[in-house]
Amino acid sequence: MSMNFSDLPSALERGEELNARLAGKKLAIFLDYDGTLTPIVDRPEMAILSQSARAIVRELAERCSLAIVSGRDRPDVEKLVGIDNLIYAGSHGFDIVVPGGKAIQREEGAEFAEVLEQVKARLHAEVDGIEGSLIEPKKSSVAVHYRLVAPDRHADIQAVVDAIIAEHDTLRVTPGKMVYEIQPKLDWNKGKAVLWLLEALDLDKPDILPMYFGDDITDEDAFRALSGRGIGIFVGGATAEAKTDRPTDADYRVEDPDAAVRLLDTLAR
């Protein structure tokens, strides 16, 4: 059942409760990247994983199945994390690589390449002139970041995005933290990707407990997918931006990426 994230119990303060849920179970951990393992930053390339966080993720991956599930392109997030023996699901799960290098790509998104190129060109034509804007083309979507845009120009960016969506009934927009992501209107998301991975990797078993860590709107699909069968950890609340309360289907909360990494550290012990 959804509740505002400010009302969620703290995962770090409910250690005994979590341990009881974990008793006799093997873990399968799914981690978002931006805002979950690293703080939200002004530009995507500035989201650098700390050495200490990388060491903890690497150690945890030696003890259980661990996947990075990101809206970033898969090669991008794979390079940023820099750990070989992980599952990487990029582009909201459209592009997946498992340990050993086996790639799994969903082909449904390929047919949208041309329209996404058109969207990218239009965004460059109409948004590039707005100071502070950043257009991030991805394999299966186009993101428009406006974190560095003056507040009185936010509506101008939204108007362009709304016009594009109105003209393309095969596309949808997902708002995030100071970003709009324009993507194909397909029945696929992070939640579907997590469920697919559980089945494909033979992790959909009673003795395996999936946990998902995420901070943004797109992570809610994964929280809902695991409701009643796993644990969702909402990451956020420590910054002024994140204090804007909203409903979530997560089970617990941690304040920020540092707290998320501390929780991962306890799970690795």
pLDDT at 266 over 60: yes
The pLDDT, as a whole number, for residue 4 is: 87
Q: What's the predicted TM-score (pTM) here?
A: 0.92
Instruction: Specify the DSSP element, H or E, that contains 57.
Output: helix 51-61
What's the order of all strands across the beta sheet hosting 26-31? 102-105, 95-98, 87-90, 65-69, 26-31, 208-214, 231-235, 252-254
Contact (CB, 8 A) for 35 and 239? no
Residue bearing tokens 């406006």: 146
pLDDT at 240 over 50: no
The pLDDT, as a whole number, for residue 3 is: 87
Q: 241: pLDDT confidence band, cut at 50, 70 and 90?
A: low
- 32 part of the active site: yes
Superfamily of segment(s) 3-106+188-267: HAD superfamily/HAD-like (3.40.50.1000)
Burial class (CB in 10 A: 0-12, 13-18, 19+), 128: exposed
Q: 238: pLDDT confidence band, cut at 50, 70 and 90?
A: low
Structure letter (DSSP) for residue 70: -
**Domain limits, the chain:** 3-106+188-267, 109-184
Nearest to 11 by CA among 164, 212, 148, 242: 212
Pick the CATH number of 109-184 from 3.30.1370.60, 3.30.70.1020, 3.50.40.10, 3.40.50.300: 3.30.70.1020
Q: 211: pLDDT confidence band, cut at 50, 70 and 90?
A: very high
The pLDDT, as a whole number, for residue 102 is: 74
Catalytic one of 32, 221, 251, 256:
32
